[in-house]
Amino acid sequence: MSVSCKVTVVGAGVAGLTAALELSERGVAVEVIERGNGVGEGCSRMAGGMLAPWCERAATDEAVMRLGAPSIDWWRRHFPGTVRNGSLVVAPARDAAELTRFAERTENYEWRDADGIAALEPDLAGRFRRALFFPREAHLEPRRALLGLADALSKRGVSIRFGVEQAEGFVIDCRGLVARDVLPDLRGVRGEMIVIRSREVSLLRPVRLLHPRIPLYIVPRGDGVFMLGATAIESEARVGVSVRSAVELLNAAFALHPAFGEAEILELGAGLRPAFPDNLPAVRRGPNGLLVNGLYRHGFLLAPAMARQAADLVESDHADLRQRRSA
């Protein structure tokens, strides 16, 4: 396959914007088209924004950690709002064995006792006896990050055209679930989240609460705002957050700190994440270029790796084309 002088990226979610920026930085002429009216109108806006490859390793394939670890530095270079304060994993005393099992499945962590937890998160003082601290991890606010990528592209002269679906020439398809017309093995996995505001609790980093039935992550957004998440439901129902999920997430937040019981609910949201059967993303050859998809629940963590893979293939195709022309 050969590449013409310009590449069109289809989709202005995290996969499309990271691919476009990676291509532009390598000197490839690129534009982005998006059928919606703004960036990140799909599942990207529902993401937690945790850049936590070692935490994720405890429940996912090793590839997630290997591909995701370099993404932390990628985001720090491209989005100043990236915060590298690490991640904290805690468990109620009755579920302390869950911490040990979690630790056995991952790496790059430090054990912290009650005093160590209090030093990291003063508002959790006295609430947990032990924790795992992952100092190299980071987080970001997804919606601000997407706008930051769009701004970076604009400064590089890369246009994003909205309300456009038809692409010509060499295409990098980043349409998520919409791409099932060419990716029949793609499926949707429901994810639900709640955004709350609490003036009584302050956290400096994402905190994961381990629980056999209701695992929770809570991500600070600043100004007392937190995002609660954890659900991954094998369903493609396009409906709002279920009562069961809302109750379980809010109960888990209350278990982390009772003051969350007085928090204000700002938003409830649900979306469908695109996933392949192995729950790992892939860059595939398509009829008109490349397809980048299947980021599942690791969109912001793995998008930079997929962008690099796509850009490598584009550069390779450019080199092949130049070689044939000079032969």
- Domain at 205, CATH number: 3.30.9.10
Q: What percent of the chain has pLDDT over 70?
A: 95
Domain, as residue range, for 4 = 1-83+138-184+277-327
> Model-level pTM?
0.93
The pLDDT of residue 50:
97
Q: Per-residue pLDDT for 323 more than 70? A: no
Q: Are residues 76 and 149 in the same domain?
A: yes
Does residue 202 sit in the same domain as residue 252?
yes
Q: Are residues 122 and 203 in the same domain?
A: yes
Looking at the 3D structure of the chain, how many domains does it have?
2
Looking at the fold, whether 192 and 73 belong to one and the same domain comes out as no
Q: What percent of the chain has pLDDT over 90?
A: 82
- Show the 3-state SS of the chain: CCCCCEEEEECCCHHHHHHHHHHHHCCCEEEEEECCCCCCCCHHHHCCCEECHHHHHCCCCHHHHHHHCCHHHHHHHHCCCCECCCEEEECCHHHHHHHHHHHHCCCCCEEEEHHHHHHHCHHHCCCCCEEEEECCCEECCHHHHHHHHHHHHHHCCCCEEECCCCCCCEEEECCHHHHHHCCCCCEEEEEEEEEEECCCCCCCCCEEECCCCCCEEEEEEECCEEEEECCCECCCCCCCCCHHHHHHHHHHHHHHCHHHHHCEEEEEEEEEEEECCCCCCEEEEECCEEEEECCCCCHHHHHHHHHHHHHHHHHHHHHHHHHHHHC
pLDDT at residue 186 in the model: 97
Same domain, 103 and 215: yes
Domain match, 202 and 235 both: yes
pLDDT digits (tens, 9 = 90+) for 67-110: 999 999 999 999 999 999 999 999 998 888 999 999 999 999 99
